[in-house]
Every structure is written in C-alpha cells, then in structure tokens.
A and B are shown apart, each in its own frame.
Chain A
Amino acid sequence: MHLGGWLEDRLRWRAADAFLRHKAVPIVRHGYVYYFGGITLFLFVVQVVTGLLLLMYYKPTAEAAHDSIRFITSKVQFGWLVRSVHSWAANLMVFWVFAHMFGAFFVGAYRRPREVTWISGTLLLFITMTFGFTGYLLPWNTLAYFATKVGTEIVGAVPLVGHGLLVLLRGGEDVTEATLNRFFGIHVAILPLLTTMLLGFHLFLVQLHGMSRPESRGPARSVAFVPNFVLREALIWVIGLGVLATLAVLLPWPVGERADPLAPAPAGIRPEWYFVFMFQTLKLIPPHVLGIEGERLGILAFMLAALVLLAVPLLEHDDRKTRARRIALALGIFAVLYMAGMTIVGYLVP
C-alpha cells in the first residue's frame, strides 16, 4: 500500500484534498483584497518562527532583558536577522491586519453568513495590537519603557475599571520588572494560545463559507483555488519574504539604550505608530468637555468605536445599497482618513 492509502486510512486526507481542489475563488473588481488575509497569515507565521527562535536567547528580567537583545543582535549568528525580521514583521502585520479588516469591510464580506468570521477577525485584530503592545516592552529600552508607561497610564483612565486594569497590566502601581514578567507571559503564552484557537476558528469559517462575492454586474466568474489562487498567494509570500529580508539588512531595528526608570522621560515620548492616532486624539481633546474629563471621553469614544467595529455585521446586513450601507461606507472612509491623518499629525507635531 502506498503512502496516500496509508494516510487516507488514518487521516482521511482525501476529503480535505477534494475540498481544496473544488474550492473556487471569485473573480471580482478589487480582487487583490482577497490576498490581504493571506499576507497577514504569512506575517503571523513569520512572527511565530522568529519569536520561537528569539525565545532561545531572550531573558525576561529587568537586569538581563536589554543585554540579551544586545547579545542576540551582536553575538548570536544571524541573531540580528531573526530579531530585525521579528520587529519588522510585527509592524507590517499590524498594518496588514488593518488593511485586511478594511478590505473585508469595504467589500461587505461581513454579511450573512460571515458575521462570526468578522467578529472573530475583529477580535484577532485586537489581539494583534495587544501582541504589539506587549512585545514592544520586551527589549526593555528607554523608548519601550516610557511608551509602556504612557500606554498603561491611558488604560488607567478607563472609567470604573481603569485603575484595576492598570494594576493588573503593570503587575503593580508602576512599570517595573513585574510588568515585564506579565507582558512576557502574555506575549509568548496567553496571546499565542488565544490566537491559535481564534485563528483556527477564523480560517475554518473562511473555508466553510468560501470567499465572499460582492455584488457585481455581468456573469460571475471564478478561478480554482488550487492552483491559481494558491500560486499567486505563494508568489506574494515570496515577495513578502524578500521585503522582510531587505528591511532586516538595510534598516536593522535599533537595540536602544537600556531603560533607566529613575531617569526623566525623554521629550516626545509616544507609543508605537499604530497607537499614535489614539494618543494624538487624546492629546487634542480639551481637558473638559461638557463637564466630563476629556481623556475619559476620548477613551470612551474609542471603546465605542471598537464595539461598533465588532457589531458591524449586526448593524449593516442588507445586500442592497441601503442608507445603512452608505453610512457604513462613509464611516469606513472617515475612519481610514482619521487614523492616517492623526498618525501623521502625531509625528509632525512635537
């Protein structure tokens, strides 16, 4: 009996194989959007591999963290490559998870029966941002330390549960080694576990429902998933590898100065770029608006935005071009412009 039969007996792989061979991807306007999820997945895989490699040498203590990163980048063979790829892919992944989300949003891929796919995807987006937030602290350098201080401070301003959340995140009242321990555990254990489950679920749902087809004029055409789409996806992944390698070599990620909690915060501290739009918004809100503290109002607004994002398929669910759809599109365009604009402002204004 050959291998195929042996595996079929034990794993029933032929059903999956047949399913994949029959899977078809629609040809639509803006079809490139279909690749965004795959790019995000590719970057996640890169993160897992490079992250596991970094785990071989990283030390999660206040004393040793920074020096272990320095050790990886200067003494470990190809350590510089692993570390820079990990840092670059992290940032690219955050960008692409947003691009994937907006892509799915604008083509209306959240509609029935894909509402749960959307919700799981939004949760994955929040998890990705948390990955970024927790991972940023791990090198324990000046920028990371103070960015975490500022970021957790803002969490503390959430109404009611804010202070409790702050203490929970920081492992105390201040950012200390306890914070590093927690962030490390969250970053390498808790979040990967959650992601595995959610991502598996998300991908299963995508296979279950197939690729969505937005409204279009004319006959509906499609290509076979295997091999057309898969080959194109592979090509994009190869290009992605090239981009990551180029970035790692030509623009290596700096190690920075070891964090000194006793030193005053350097001027112009801001969180990572994907939080800057929130940070800048909070900076621009006046101290009091209608008697409510400005910062709290800002945080509430963002929490509301997150809830709306989660609830999009419940709010707009009609196939036709209804008013709700137009509002959704307008809000989406506004969101993109707002986030991009605020990010730019956040960097231009000292």
Chain B
Amino acid sequence: MAKSPRITRRSFADYLLGTGLVALAGTVLYPLARYLIPPKVKEVAAGSVVAAKVGDLQPNSGKVFLFGSKPAILIHTGQGTYKAFTAVCTHLACTVQYRGDIGHIWCACHDGHYDTISGQVLAGPPPRPLAEFGVTVKGNDIVVTRTA
C-alpha cells in the first residue's frame, strides 16, 4: 500500500516503537552495567572483620570497631596477645573502652570494670560478662571472628 506524504499513523507508531525500544534498552542496560561494576565499599564478610593491621595498635591499648551492626573492642594486651570482645556494656548498653592505666575494659557510664582475660565483671553494676570473639592474625591483618 502506498505511503502518503504526511506522517501516517503507521510510521508514527513505528517511530514510537523505535524510540521506545532504544529507550528501553538504555533503561535496562544502564542499571545492569552499573550493577556489574564492583562497589568501592569493602565487602562485608559476615562472620569476620579485619579489625586492624599489625602495628596499628600499641601494646596495652584498645580499639573500638564495627562488627556486624554492633561495636566491638580489640585489645592489644600488655603481654602482647590480642583479645576481642563485644563493646556493648551488659548494664545499659553503653560502648565500653580500654584503659591502659588499669588494664581493664571500662564503661564510662557507671564505672563498670571488666577484665581482659575473659570479659568477666570486676567491679560496678554490669550484671554479665562481655561476650568474647575469636582473634587470628593472618599475615598483616588482625581478623576478628564470631566464635561459634
């Protein structure tokens, strides 16, 4: 059938189809491409976290870091070993810290003291000890893992 000089409905439909298909291709391929590009954020490997590098922490000092969605504390003890515990105080959930002057994990809120051997309560209101995490040194990394 002959095509009339003005834009027929058919070719308008073709135009829409063409544009639509190209636009759809772009709308699908753009997110797809962005998806495949690896994100810059470090992958969160569930059960373990590199808490610090060897040499970051001086002996008899501690560092609070994020583990999962809760704070945790890594301690480089005066004897040279690494210990890791949850940093959520068992009294009222304040974030604890390490005090090198007394060698205890300490909660500033109500003066709770925990030992660094197994997280047991030494003084103050906390009712329960701090849960301990596993620490392994892999090369230059200090890796903290959830113990089973």
Contacts and interface: CB of A to CB of B under 8 A. Distances in A.
Contacts of B35: 53, 56, 76-79, 81-82
B37 interface: yes
A193 interface: no
A70 interface: yes
A258 to B, nearest CB: 8
Contacts of B37: 77
Contact of A77 (B24, B31, B48): B31
A75 B39 contact: yes
A190 B31 CA distance: 29
A272 interface: no
Contacts of B47: 63-64
A77 B32 CA distance: 9
B7 interface: no
Nearest to B20: A238
Contacts of A65: 46
Interface residues of B, number: 15
B32 to A, nearest CB: 7
B46 A67 contact: yes
A81 B24 CA distance: 16
Interface residues of A, number: 20
Contacts of A347: none
Contacts of A258: 46
B102 interface: no
Contacts of A66: 46
Contacts of A68: 46
Interface string A41-79: 000000000000100100000011111101100011111
B46 A75 contact: no
B43 interface: yes
A78 B31 contact: yes
B36 interface: yes
Interface string B9-48: 0000000000000001000000110111101010111111
Interface of A: 53, 56, 63-68, 70-71, 75-79, 81-82, 238, 241, 258
11 contacts: A53-B32, A56-B35, A63-B48, A65-B46, A67-B44, A71-B44, A75-B39, A78-B32, A78-B34, A81-B31, A258-B46
